[in-house]
């Protein structure tokens, strides 16, 4: 009874499991590297936040011009 390394090497049966996701893969715009296709589902408040940031920066810029 030898202890240590095994004399017989057997390859375990590896099965690839396909994980299917409901999230779309790829890109929202095919030629664009950004945003990913799941961007709208991950960040649903993004349009609102972006609009508020644009309004706030615009007001700040206009106040500097006066």
What are the mean pLDDT values of the chain's consecutive 10-residue runs (66 residues total)? 66 63 65 75 88 96 91
- What residue spans define the domains of the chain? 27-66
Can you give the pLDDT at residue 60?
Answer: 96
Instruction: Tell me what pLDDT residue 1 has.
Output: 56
Gyration radius of the chain over CA positions: 27
pTM over 0.75: no
Query: How far is CA 38 from each of CA 26, 27, 33, rounded to the nearest angstrom?
Result: 8, 8, 13
């Amino acid at each position: 009874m030898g202890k240590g390394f095994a004399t017989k090497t057997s390859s375990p049966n590896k099965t690839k499991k396909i994980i299917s996701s409901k999230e779309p893969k790829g890109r929202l715009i095919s030629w664009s590297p950004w945003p990913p296709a799941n961007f709208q589902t991950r960040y649903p408040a993004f349009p609102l936040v972006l609009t508020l940031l644009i309004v706030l920066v615009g007001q700040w810029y206009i106040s500097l011009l006066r």
